[in-house]
Amino acid sequence: MERYPLYIFDLDGTLYRGNEPIANAADTVRALSESGAKIRYLTNNSGQTRAFFLDKLIRMGFPCEMEAIYTSGVGSASYLAANGLKRVFAIGEPGLVTTLRDHGLEVANAGSDLLTVSAGSESDAVLAGICRHFNYDLMNGAMQRIRAGQPFIATNPDVTYPMEEGRLIPGAGSVVAGIQACSEAEPYVVGKPNPYLIRLILEELGFPPTSALVVGDRVDTDLVSGERAGCPTHLVLTGVTSVPPEGQSFSVDLTGLL
């Protein structure tokens, strides 16, 4: 098919499923990269760092460097920094705390173990994502701050998170829903379907939207975020979608891009 100067790939269900690389995906991305296209990787996952995904993608044979990886944690850090919100009350995994600190932000409630809850710390904003140590104290800390007028930001809206063999666990959206209920406030959600991260990629590379093909396995997140950014989109059937919507560019797997 038509080649693009830039490809923005979703990860889970597009390049791999859990720890299993999808057949021919790495070879396809490598071929596009070797023909001169820029490659960027975009995931709604906020629980892991860029370094984690770099290691995983390289192990699976994808051409990759740290700057090519965009997570909803990276997007949240960028959004907070751009809005002068330097001290963050963060509800998330240690990977999110590391990502925020890597971007020069202060995490008001995390100690050296990345998890310590200290409800009294000063903060400028509340950020919530997937958090496997979420508890009543964290919820209360977030609620008091949001009710006092601090901005409420969510990493991504996914209510569940897919595990091996189709098993689901609570995702960021479920943690966010709890905080939303008690604080009676709507969060600004950074991850897909918000085009925020796609616009950030385009801005950093200086590319126009029409030069980037956004590729993913989910219509309501991957493809919607691409459309909202003004980019052409392409669906692959290796993840959660088995029937493509009418008129949507698609292929059974990534080899359809060659």
Taking CB under 5 A as the rule, which mask of x and - marks residues 125-154 in contact with Mg ion? ------------------------------
Q: Which residue has the tokens 């098993």?
A: 167
Give the integer Cα–Cα distance in Å for 96 and 251.
33
**Per DSSP, what are the bridge partners of residue 160?**
170
Selected binder of Mg ion within 6, 7, 9, 13 (CB under 5 A): 13
Nearer to Mg ion, 121 or 249 (CB): 249
Nearer to Mg ion, 18 or 61 (CB): 18
Structure tokens at 99: 């990502």
Nearer to Mg ion, 9 or 152 (CB): 9
Distances (CA, A) of 158 to 15, 23, 79: 19, 26, 19
Q: What is the DSSP letter of 155?
A: S
In angstroms, what is the minimal distance from the CB of 216 to Mg ion?
Answer: 6
In angstroms, what is the minimal distance from the CB of 40 to Mg ion?
Answer: 15
Amino acid letter, residue 233? T
In angstroms, what is the minimal distance from the CB of 134 to Mg ion?
Answer: 23
First to last CA, the chain: 6
Q: Which of 56, 36, 35, 34 is nearest to 47 (CA)?
A: 56
Residues 220-249 touching Mg ion, rule: CB under 5 A, are 239
In angstroms, what is the minimal distance from the CB of 117 to Mg ion?
Answer: 31
Residue 45 backbone dihedrals phi, psi, to 5 degrees: -65, 130
User: Does the protein bind Mg ion through residue 217 (CB under 5 A)?
Assistant: yes
Give the integer Cα–Cα distance in Å for 73 and 17.
21
User: Does the protein bind Mg ion through residue 158 (CB under 5 A)?
Assistant: no
In angstroms, what is the minimal distance from the CB of 12 to Mg ion?
Answer: 4
**Stretch of 4-12, 145-153, 178-186, 194-202 lying at the interface with Mg ion (CB under 5 A):** 4-12
In degrees, to the nearest 5, what angle opens at C-alpha 73 toward C-alphas 21 and 53?
A: 25
Nearer to Mg ion, 119 or 237 (CB): 237
Any idea how long the chain is? 258
In angstroms, what is the minimal distance from the CB of 250 to Mg ion?
Answer: 14
User: Does the protein bind Mg ion through residue 171 (CB under 5 A)?
Assistant: no
Position closest to Mg ion via CB: 13
Give the integer Cα–Cα distance in Å for 161 and 168.
6
Residues 81-110 touching Mg ion, rule: CB under 5 A, are none
Size of the site for Mg ion (CB under 5 A): 5
In degrees, to the nearest 5, what angle opens at C-alpha 178 toward C-alphas 158 and 164?
A: 35
In angstroms, what is the minimal distance from the CB of 167 to Mg ion?
Answer: 16
- Pinpoint the alpha helices (H) of 94-243: 94-102, 136-147, 172-183, 196-205, 224-229
User: Does the protein bind Mg ion through residue 10 (CB under 5 A)?
Assistant: yes
User: Does the protein bind Mg ion through residue 12 (CB under 5 A)?
Assistant: yes
Nearer to Mg ion, 76 or 225 (CB): 225
Binding site for Mg ion (CB under 5 A): 10, 12-13, 217, 239
